[in-house]
């Protein structure tokens, strides 16, 4: 299932944040919300196949965890725009070949 928050993904995020496993439910919820928000902004990326998208999901989740979400979009505007443009160009390439 695309964009499923797998146990491996959760462990990777937990290790990165240096957190224990007693917050798994909360972290899973945060990661899911981050995937949904970033897909709305950047396009239909898959967290399990795009390292750049996964990096942004982790960063947004870190901001949420630290109660600083209001700063995420400003601080990562360039990365968000780059993914959005890349998705648009990908879609454009597909349309031209059809």
- For 37-78, how does the pLDDT look when each residue is reduced to its tens digit (9 = 90+)? 999 999 999 999 999 999 999 999 999 999 999 999 999 999
Q: How many CB atoms lie within 10 A of CB 69?
A: 17
pLDDT of res. 10: 96
The CA-based angle 23-27-28, given to 5 degrees, is 120
Average pLDDT of the chain is: 91
Contacts of 7 (CB under 8 A, 6+ apart): none
Q: What share of the chain in percent tops pLDDT 90?
A: 82
What pLDDT, on a 0 to 100 scale, did the predictor assign at position 90? 84
Question: What pLDDT shows up at residue 74?
Answer: 97
pLDDT at 95 over 70: no
In this prediction the pTM is 0.89
């Amino acid at each position: 299932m695309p964009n499923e928050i797998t146990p491996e993904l959760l462990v990777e995020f937990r290790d990165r944040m240096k957190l224990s496993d007693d917050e798994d439910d909360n972290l899973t919820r945060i990661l899911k919300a981050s995937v949904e928000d970033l897909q709305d902004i950047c396009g239909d990326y898959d967290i399990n196949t795009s390292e750049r998208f996964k990096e942004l999901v982790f960063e947004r989740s870190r901001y949420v965890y630290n109660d600083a979400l209001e700063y995420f979009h400003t601080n990562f505007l360039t990365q968000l725009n780059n993914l959005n443009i890349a998705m648009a160009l990908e879609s454009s390439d597909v349309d031209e070949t059809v």
